[in-house]
Amino acid sequence: MTQAEWARDLARQLLEKPLPRRWAHTQGVAARAASLAPILGDDADTLTAAAYLHDIGYSPELVDTGFHPLDGARYLRDVAQADETLYRLVAHHSCAVNEATERGLFDDLSKEFVPERPDLMDALTYCDMTTGPDGRHLNVAERLAEIHSRYGPEHLVSRSITASTPCILAAVRAVQAALEQH
C-alpha cells in the first residue's frame, strides 16, 4: 500500500460521512498533488498523502482546540502514528502559522511541529489554494475570494487569510515557476 492509499483510507473514514463537502475538497486537493509528479518525482506520493490528510482536523471525531491544522497534526502524530513528514506538512499547511497566531496557538504549533521542506510546503499550499470547497479547480484569486465570502469580513479565518495572502501567493508562484521550467 502506498502512503497516499493509506492516507486516502484514513481521510475517507474521518470525513466522508460527517463532512461530505470537505471530503470532496480533499479529493480535489489530492488530485492536484498527484498532478505535480513531474516536478516532485518520488515525493509526489508523500505530497498526495499529505493532501488527503490536510483537513482531517475538521473531523468531529478529532476536533480538540478547533484549529484544524493543529488538531489534525496531533492526531496523525499521536493516534495514527503517521510519518513525521506528513504531520509536519499538515500542521503548517497553507501558511497556518497566521491563523495559529490569531487563535493564540502560535507557541503550540511552532514548538510541537517544525515546518517541512519549503518546496513540499509550497506544493501543499498550492494544491489547497487552487481547489474550491467542492473539489473543483480555482485559480488562487478565486479561491481567496471564495474563502472571504464564505466566512465574512469579521471572521477570524478571513483575518488569517488576509495575513497569509503574501505567503500563499509566494507558494503558488514558486510552484507555477517550477511547472513552467519543467
Q: Give phi and psi for 162, each to the nearest 5.
A: -60, -45
Q: Give the residue with the Cβ less far from Fe ion, 4 or 50.
A: 50
Question: CB of 97: closest distance to Fe ion in angstroms?
Answer: 13
Report the candidate in 86, 77, 99, 79 with the shortest Cα–Cα distance to residue 160.
Answer: 99
Report the candidate in 31, 22, 37, 9 with the shortest Cα–Cα distance to residue 182.
Answer: 37
Question: CB of 182: closest distance to Fe ion in angstroms?
Answer: 27
Q: Give the residue with the Cβ less far from Fe ion, 1 or 92.
A: 92
113/179 Cα distance (integer angstroms): 28
Do 147 and 25 contact (CB within 8 A), yes or no?
A: no
Q: Give the residue with the Cβ less far from Fe ion, 39 or 157.
A: 157
Angle of helix 44-53 versus helix 118-129 axis, rounded to 10: 50
Q: Give the residue with the Cβ less far from Fe ion, 41 or 158.
A: 158
Q: Give the residue with the Cβ less far from Fe ion, 43 or 55.
A: 55
Give the nearest residue (CB) to Fe ion. 55
Q: Which helix (H) or strand (E) holds 87?
A: helix 84-91
Contact residues for Fe ion, defined by CB under 5 A? 55
Question: CB of 54: closest distance to Fe ion in angstroms?
Answer: 5
Question: CB of 57: closest distance to Fe ion in angstroms?
Answer: 7
Question: CB of 98: closest distance to Fe ion in angstroms?
Answer: 12
